[in-house]
Structure 1
Amino acid sequence: MFKFVIGNQPLRNTMSIKKNRLRVLTPSRIVAPIFMMLCFLKGADAQNTVTKVIPAELSEISGLVISKNNLFYVHNDSGDTSRIFAMDAKGNLVSTIYFKGDPSIKQLGVADCEDIAAGPGPIKNKSYIYLGDIGDNASNRPYVTVYRLPEPSNFTKKMQIVGEAIHLKYPNGPQDAETLMVDPITNELLIISKRQDTVGIYSASLKFKKNDTVTMKKQGGLFLPGKGLLKYIVAGDISRDGQQIIIKTYTTVYYWLRKGNEPIAETLKRTPTKLPYTLERQGEAIGFTPDGKSYYCISEGKNAIIYKYALPAK
């Protein structure tokens, strides 16, 4: 993931490796002026709800999905272990959920988890969580991994669940990505790359077996206005009914309404609508509410704010 670097603020030990790496990639003398410019951009004034309570364990939120019972599943990005968090809409921590990651990634079990989604899986009428270990700043990973985790029905403060992994290769070589979505109509995983002027849209079937290695299909491309890091695609979600799509850059939330069961890549060819968005310091998480009438955004950082926005009438 890209990191805005301002000053020399101390960081948690669990994140130190990532920070050192990214300071080399994005010197503060370049990034700080850009961030200052962003701060002066006009933020949206249409948020419905603002909550300022985020658990201390979550200082690097990079993905968000909201369950059918309005529980938030979130996660940190690189530097954390193989776990996700369940919290309520006020930011109260409900559970820390651990799973077995990749044993070849020593200590942590994951490399760079960047987004999370929910959708169907192998058991009919059961909901699954899909965690995307898909970040690749240097674009040199031979494959990325998505973990499928059954959504718990009961919670304890700390718990372990058994999931399964699929290893994904890009048809055109390694890509950096921070956007993972589940299409409930085509039953596919969708990954959108991050950095190119026209980013790639890649897909793989949800019908996979544990530890399969699959080469994804490139469905098409997506061009959004802007230059450089200001147009980096950092999050996205598809509504539960499969009819609405939101894609987020660091500065803008874009919205599309699907026509019937057309491929998502076809939907994303049309000109999107810009949705309300209050500029965040490091906003990399977005998700629809289960009824598809609103969406939430959460930033990285301690004491991050949870924003809720109403969607326009269809």
Structure 2
Amino acid sequence: MPKRLDIRLIAPSGYADDHAARERGVERLLAAGHTVHGADVLERVMLRFAGTDAERAADLNQLADPGVPLPHLVMATCGGYGAISLLDRIDFDGLAARFLDESCVLVGHGDFTVLQCALYARSAIGSLHGPMLVADFGAPYLRENTWRHFWHTVLSPRTDMSWTCADDQRDLLVEGTLWGGNLSALCSLVGTSYLPRIDGGILFVEEVGEQAWRIERMLYELKLAGVLERQRAIVIGGLGGQRVSEYDNGYDIDHALQRFGKACNLPILRGLSFGHGGDKWTLPFGAHAVLECVAGTATLSAFDYAYAGAANGGPVASA
């Protein structure tokens, strides 16, 4: 009989206000044969957050307690804002010691990027930039591609994805450490010890609801901070939600990326779907990756990352 996953929910940022979606998310995980712990975090509300800073930090710090069994998978319920206020409260040394000996995979996106960066920078803990309980697994329509690729990545030591690039994209082949996430979350950590210093990296970024000029400004922030000079390529996901005003004179996200591309002197690939949005790939933060583009088709292969299939004889999930 294949072994199922023990999943623990955490709520490090905003609260889950869509009751139907959160119930659907839990029900789908249970229907796939998994065990879900920590559903009580779905009930917490404090202002716009899923509980106090202390409560939300405790969700993570319990994973450092040797007396608490580690689950196979830790899943963020939703994003929003709030993870940055937890960083001074997290037991990074305790988490590093615990994760060194046992296999446990964390997953989330959006504001969760703050924790992914901090965990990698301070504890060398990799994670998955992927779907979350409410918006993804609790959506009225479950995206089959998102579901299948997520479980494949959770349970396998390697994951692959491919997509179509722009017609004018030059061929390239690079490899390095795969990392990144939500652009504004990354920029919030510039100048702190919580932003990983990764040399020879493949940086992936996405954003939602920010104007084109804000996107360009945040990319420049990473450039001027010296982050981009250590990277080998940038993979850009969804950047939806921009509004072009009369004052912009036609300046939009395409112009912003064209302008920035000339300034950063790095290959920039667009078209991969991750982070916010419907269908999404799951990207292993901290994995070794190979990025290739040939004749307008890009492929990204990631391996050497923590995955739940390595734990307890290799659990298998329904996908």
* Structure-2-length-normalised TM-score: 0.28
Higher RCO, Cα 8 Å, sep 6+: 2
TM-score (normalised: structure 1)? 0.28
